[in-house]
Structure 1
Amino acid sequence: MAFCCFSQASFFASQATKPRTVWNHSSARPVMSYNSIVRKEQVFLLGFAKAVLPRTRVCDRSSLRRRPVPTASLAGSSQIANSVFTVGTALVIPLYALMVFVPHSELTKRSMESSIPYIILGAMYTYLLGISWTSETLRLMFASKYWLPELPGITRMFSSDLTVASAWLHLLAVDLYAARQVFRDGLKDGIETRHSIALCLLFCPIGIMSHLLTKVIAHLWRRSRGGREAAESVATIRGEC
């Protein structure tokens, strides 16, 4: 009896280890073994994994933390632009005030002879230009096929606070230089220039045009008056009286 049980157990164990086969009942022939089906599925899944997994990028938080931060962040660049904007404006306002309110004082004349304001404005402009320059700056400035500036490119370039601040410094330096030339010309020819200098602060082309018109009007008035009265008006404007 024990021998019979042992024979049955060994029989079932041998059957379990044998590969199972799917039979086609119509032809009584095996269609495909079970193990071959499993192997084919494994090969398919392995090939799919090799094809997909290399293209999947895993986000490593530690690598994100180690990523270098840009030199001028958005908040930092805005703060730098605001500071330079304020310093440049505060630098030129007193010079305009001297030319308008006390044009004949020695302090005004010495200030207009000095080149220090232009050096300071030029240094700040160079600094802003250096930190705002990108690889797209030239492409935006000369966007056309003829290497000429175009309005859409300039508009996109001026979307940065640093670029706007550098353009403001550019205007301050050029306008101050034009106002100084108007001031000197007025002292030399004895022409009133205070209204033209005030216009040069924010509307420099209008200030230059105003000075040229003032020169024409003053010349015509002196020709009509002539003599001693015209000479007295010139001496008064020059501050000789």
Structure 2
Amino acid sequence: MVTAARMESIVILAVTKMHAGMCTAGLTQRGEWLRPVRDFGNVSLRDVSYPNGNLMRCFDIAQIPIIKRRPAGPHIEDAVADFNHYQPRLAAQIGPGERGAWLRAHAEDVVTAARQVYQQHERSLALVKVKEVSATMKIDSYSSKLEMKVWAEELGLPRPVPCTDVHWRALGRKLLPNGGLKNMEWPELSALLGCDEVYLSLGLARQFEGEYWPLVVGVHTVPAFDVDIDIRNL
């Protein structure tokens, strides 16, 4: 028997490009993290797009066709979505003027959350506020391969963390149109983006070589910065 999907409203806090496909995640109206996955195979670009072709963005309130929860290891937030029959629908958005208050209301203690996600692997998603971030951006001019990493002291990690956020990746492509390497500390970043607060969506990659590798799956600034996203070159 096929289980009918229900439309779950989610505040999107991550839209990411992975090695195999795409990923999205966010908070439900109950304040619970949810990551839509396919029953088989990888989430595609179509699965994180609306019927008009627009890509999901963070702070969209999207309706996702959820069939059932399916926790897997530390990825306790996984839920099977019926992307074969339904695409997400855009229900509303948290506007730029509202985001600061929303983020402050929903962010967790960064030290506790980072430990639970990155070290203890009790879960795989969290929203935290950090004092500042630094960024490393690298594009191979021959292959156009992009690597984005961020670092914040409060995360308790010895080295920068890969960042898979498509919005942040688009910033890297904008700043390095001809390829190369760029390292940016917070004073330069905050001046460039015109922001004074920064929040991170923390994540964990799927198990690889026996490890769950740390990720940053969303970078959220207050005020928000805008950058065009080329879906052909994420």
Q: What TM-score comes out, normalization by structure 2 length?
A: 0.20
* Bigger strand fraction: 2
